Structure 1
């Protein structure tokens, strides 16, 4: 078997396992009865991938997936569509691939106001009427749309499809990085592999972000569901270490009163030592 054949086989296996894990994460539990294949569907039993192993560090992804599921449930109950940002689609992707659902936390940080997790509690215990919560979120969507021209609302099925497809790609990158030859050369980070587990050594990627404007703070997000995680400061450059995956980056500070994302720059790690943001 040639090196290229081995690499193709590893990529197919990684894609199959990534699709399986994405299903587990987005549907809230193991799916040991389902068999994943490299296109994200389900096929023959000889392609089975165990979903309950701990070879891949998933604590960060588990948190995002939990937020996405809760947010989708809230918006569904209120009859509202899902907030998203348009992004530059990658080469060869489907025409509708250039959209990423965003966390309601980003809207709260941009505008202040009541937490959406408090709204869930209010609905659950009957202390807030549905109409009141729906109106609050609708106004927040409208206000954020005035601040961000790439903002849009998308149907629930489109949001789920986009997160699943993007998360599968993200996880495939991480699986290859954590099981391939690059693992032995990567800097190590102390992180839990799953939420609630003890920290252990996982491979990371040292990375640098530059900007046109000095003195900015940099934030990162997985490129499947836009959240806001502190990276480093100040620019330029800002350096830190991230796990492998595909990411988007944003900044705040100076003229940027809230985190603003450069959605034209999706970065896959390992493979890129730096990115320049147009801020």
Structure 2
């Protein structure tokens, strides 16, 4: 049985409600640090502390957090953390990683095994005694090297510096969008991340994204499938998502706002 944790008034996961849901049947708490459909940042360290207090394993989806903000598995209290390399970490597509706290290693069963995760010997197979038991023999060596390079690049820049820079650019973008006629920013929470979602009255989001691309501005779409519970609860249409990163400039943020303003004024057709 999967039970949905309620949202607090600010739309973050309600940790108080989660505590009330605890009983002896609970086998896992799973949460996303930053959902992919906007800038909301969940109180994952509080969730981790609650899970640890009750001895419940905590699985954290950190795909949008890794590379954007500091990530400390001890501080977050997670027992498992999964992340992809291609988002804010800016590694190659098709890469990612899984962290498993050693205390849980022997309590989890790998989805599949081959002779890398479980080498064969004369008596059969033996699971590796570390997290490599979750890996397979076949993988893209070049992509994995690229992931390592992306990690080193982020660490050399410093995650605190990256978080501050991304936050400043995202704030400027949100404030500029909020001032445009017919534009709505859909991000929630007291400390939103660098995923800025917007709709523009009278403009289909897919067409709006295409118009931004035509002007040289990369944008994504946040569809219902990415977060159906939130989309249904808030009645969200498809959203255009702009994700500034550390390498972006204030001039580029201004350029994005200029294009959105011209679209809002009908000077550019989407």
TM tier, smaller: 0.3 to 0.5
> Counting strand residues as a fraction of each chain, which structure ranks higher?
1
Instruction: Give the TM-score normalised by structure 1.
Output: 0.31
